[in-house]
Structure 1
Amino acid sequence: MDTPLRNVRTNIVQSIRAFTVKDLQAAAEQLGHHFLYANLATAQSKQDVIDLVAEQYTLPVQNGKNFDALYDSMTDVVHKSGPQTGFIVVLEHIPTGPKFDKEAREQLLDIFRDVADYWSDRKVPFRCFYSFSVARAPKASDLEAAEEPLLTDKLVDVSPQALRMSSPFNAGYWLSAA
């Protein structure tokens, strides 16, 4: 049988891209790794993200409920609970709104990179896959219920080309446009 994720480094944080959540879950099962999944589609702020990750990963986030506490929960606390075989982690729909801006997204991903380094030092695979939320056109009922304007009200071009251009991770698009 083919080894799942054989072409993916054992300790990495990367975009989910060609993988599906179902495939990653199956790979975790086949490898005997823990599978941790968090759907952050409803999160808007840093605190929402931390709360959802802790809840969906069933982590004991300590006192501060901040990124440091999240790191501690995914490293020291788990390490002290006994030997670990490995982790496949998914952060799906990381928010892209004003309350969770580019800097907050980078801080979140940096925490997971630090967690990957922590487990790498202990020779434990830790692969984290993530995706960002994609703006959708609002429904009429959403517009009526919204107290403040929705971010999607300001989008003019939502063609596939415009969405590809908006992704800083799609270097191939920028290189082929020349």
Structure 2
Amino acid sequence: MLLQTVRPNIVQAIRAFRVDELMQAAQDLGQHFLYANLAQAQSKQEVLETLATSFLFPVHFGKNLDALYDCMTDIVHKAGTQPGFVVVLDQLPDHARFDREAREQLLDVFREAADFWAERKIAFRCFYSFAVTRQDSAPVGERAIEVPAPEAKPTKAPGKSNANNFGMNMPLMSSAFDTACWLDAA
């Protein structure tokens, strides 16, 4: 099992893991798989907007770090029992408009969410990668390689197609965040 060696509540660099393997592992465990491709985001606001869209946050999402924490924890917890989470923050921006401090603040929210779910004995694994930019002025052996981002699409609420660009059906990635889904059941 791919995630056997990964602590159940952690935020870490994606390293040798591949997105499609993490998605399959989440599906095998029956956990939510949350994927956000942040390659096009340039600012903190754009990162938060991309997360809101990718994770199907409620319309009232405030697009700030406190609201992000609430959406990743309290709102989902109140929706009912959760099976666990595998989160991928793919290609976090790495430039002046979204600098190291902004990235660390964002990752701190996910670390706090991991702690929140750990207290409830629910796995919350978050993997992240940084956008890699081409540096044509660097010597050939030192150039960064630009890797195209996979175009995973967020899944829909129950009853809607869960197909993505990986050619696999994804687990209900964001149904816990789709308030329309669980408000209709009330």
TM-score range, shorter chain: 0.7 to 0.9
CA distance in 2 between counterparts of 1:160 and 1:51 reads 36
CA contact (8 A) 1:59 1:74 kept: no
| 1:27 counterpart letter in structure 2 | A
Alignment correspondent of 1:6? 4
Alignment correspondent of 1:96? 94
CA distance in 1 between counterparts of 2:39 and 2:10 reads 23
Alignment correspondent of 1:148? none
Structure 1 unmatched ranges of 5 or more = 138-154, 164-178
CA distance in 1 between counterparts of 2:60 and 2:116 reads 19
More helix, by proportion: 1
CA contact (8 A) 1:4 1:31 kept: no
The match for 1:157 among 113, 129, 138 is: 138
Alignment correspondent of 2:48? 50
CA distance in 1 between counterparts of 2:114 and 2:35 reads 16
CA contact (8 A) 1:32 1:85 kept: yes
Percent of paired sites with the same residue: 57
Greater relative CO, 1 or 2 (CA 8 Å, sep 6+) = 2
The superposition leaves residues 77-120 of structure 1 with CA deviations (integer Å, 9 ceiling, x where unpaired) of 00000000100000000001111011000001101000000000
Between Structure 1 and Structure 2, whose CA radius of gyration is higher? 1
Alignment correspondent of 2:133? 135
Q: How many residues align?
A: 145
SS of 1:42's equivalent in the other structure is: coil
Q: Cα distance, 1:157 vs. partner?
A: 1.2
Structure 2 unmatched ranges of 5 or more = 145-186
Alignment correspondent of 1:28? 26
**Equivalent residues in 2 for 1:81-120, closer than 5 Å:** 81-120=79-118
Q: Cα distance, 1:5 vs. partner?
A: 0.7
| 2:57 counterpart letter in structure 1 | L
| 2:94 counterpart letter in structure 1 | T
The superposition leaves residues 97-151 of structure 1 with CA deviations (integer Å, 9 ceiling, x where unpaired) of 11101100000110100000000000000000000000125xxxxxxxxxxxxxx
SS of 1:5's equivalent in the other structure is: helix
CA distance in 2 between counterparts of 1:37 and 1:160 reads 32
Distance 1:59 1:160, change over 3 A: farther
SS of 2:5's equivalent in the other structure is: coil
CA contact (8 A) 1:14 1:128 kept: yes
Scaled by the length of structure 2, the TM-score of the pair is 0.73
SS of 1:22's equivalent in the other structure is: helix
